Amino acid sequence: MAITAITVNESDRSKLAMTSEIVTAEFVCNYLKVPRSTLYKLARDKKIPAFRVGRHWRFKKDKIDEWVHQQEKIT
Distance CA 2, CA 12 (A): 25
Residue 58 has pLDDT above 80, yes or no: yes
Q: What tens digit of pLDDT does each residue of 7-57 get?
A: 656 666 665 555 579 999 999 999 999 999 999 999 999 999 999 999 999
Q: Counting Cβ atoms within 10 Å, is residue 59 exposed (0-12), middle (13-18) or buried (19+)? A: buried
Q: CA–CA distance from 41 to each of 3, 23, 46, 58, 68 (Å)?
A: 46, 17, 8, 14, 16
Contact between 49 and 64 (Cβ < 8 Å): yes
Looking at the DSSP bridge assignments, the partners of residue 52 are 57
Query: What is the model's pLDDT at position 74?
Result: 87
